[in-house]
A = this chain, B = another copy of it.
Amino acid sequence: GSARFGLGYTEGAAEETRVEQRMRVNITGIAETDAGVKFEARMRLEANEDANSAISGRGPGAAGFAVSYGGFRLDVGNVSDVIDSGDVVDYYGYGIGLTSFLEQSSNGALSLTGFGAGAQDQTTIKIRYSVGDFTVAASYSDRVAAGLVTERQQYQIGAGYNFGNYSIGAAFGSNDNAGVDDDFWAASFKGSVGAASFSVLASDSDSQADVTVGASLNYDVTSATAIRFVVSDGGAAGAETAYGLGFRHGLGGGVTLAGGVGQNSADNTVADLGVSFSF
């Protein structure tokens, strides 16, 4: 599991300053057949701060399952899709601050699915296959109209290639929203040069005004301390360029002090500072 707490600030929000609080516990069950096929099941418990100084827990959420064997992996249920999983595209990059309040994808508007502690309106199936430095992945999510939930079928397909300290990848996806098509894509290039690691992203969808471009950088000042810089541009009509600067400092034992400050796409200052730890 993991936990973090600290202070968060968002200019112009109804509650500008909040006590950031999160505790996550993943319950993972693993079994492996005699032939070496690995099965996993996972559910999550989580607690977060809410608005108005309230705090609450969630979960257990919907479960996600996986089967893996050699370079092959199948995910079923409450699982990440191709882009969210990072299998081939580095969508989020190096996030800023304790809460990753700013990422290289922040100005984008792709409708992705990730694993979480809540219920899911859809079932996702993802297949990934890696051979050597080459990875291909495809996912399909099925959401059926029910109550407030609208119908949507989404597929994503992507490929990535790793060469030395660098990797490149792209994915294409399409939403069928009750018969109306909405296509999207994302492509990234990432790598490291000495103590510096970088990631560059471009993405677009039929439902956003401009192509989104973003970049993020992590620089290890010492073995324990890193600084990060993120910029994300484009996206919705009238969106400002979002950018931020952050740091992370390892205190040992899985404890990290982290913080950052930046400006989001609505031209508001965002900042946070706090401690995260894993257990």
- List residues of A whose CB falls within 8 A of some B CB: 1-3, 5, 15, 19, 21-23, 25, 27, 29-35, 37, 39, 41-43, 45-47, 49-63, 65, 67, 76-78, 119-123, 125, 142-146, 149, 251-255, 275, 277-279
CA distance A30 to B279 in the complex (A): 6
Q: Which residues of B contact A19 (CB under 8 A)?
A: 76-77, 123, 125
| 5 closest Cβ pairs, A-B complex | A34-B252, A29-B279, A3-B41, A56-B119, A55-B62
Q: Which residues of B contact A144 (CB under 8 A)?
A: 15, 52-54
CA distance A51 to B143 in the complex (A): 10
Instruction: Please tell me if the beta carbons of B35 and A252 are within 8 angstroms of each other in the complex.
Output: yes
Instruction: Please tell me if the beta carbons of B65 and A123 are within 8 angstroms of each other in the complex.
Output: no
Q: Which residues of B contact A145 (CB under 8 A)?
A: 52
Instruction: Please tell me if the beta carbons of B31 and A55 are within 8 angstroms of each other in the complex.
Output: no
Closest CB in chain B relative to A181 CB, distance in Å = 20
Closest CB in chain B relative to A166 CB, distance in Å = 33
Indicate whether A57 sits within 8 Å of B54 (C-beta atoms), given known contacts A43-B25, A275-B67: no
Q: Which residues of B contact A77 (CB under 8 A)?
A: 5, 19, 21, 47, 49, 55
Q: How many copies does the complex hold?
A: 3
Instruction: Please tell me if the beta carbons of A47 and B78 are within 8 angstroms of each other in the complex.
Output: yes
Instruction: Please tell me if the beta carbons of A251 and B25 are within 8 angstroms of each other in the complex.
Output: no
CA distance A254 to B29 in the complex (A): 11
Instruction: Please tell me if the beta carbons of A142 and B21 are within 8 angstroms of each other in the complex.
Output: no
Residue on B with the closest CB to A25?
B27
Q: Which residues of B contact A21 (CB under 8 A)?
A: 62-63, 65, 76-77, 123
Q: Which residues of B contact A142 (CB under 8 A)?
A: 53
CA distance A218 to B192 in the complex (A): 59
Extra contacts, 7 of them, besides A19-B76, A31-B253, A47-B77 (Cβ < 8 A), are A27-B45, A33-B253, A52-B121, A52-B145, A54-B120, A55-B120, A57-B59
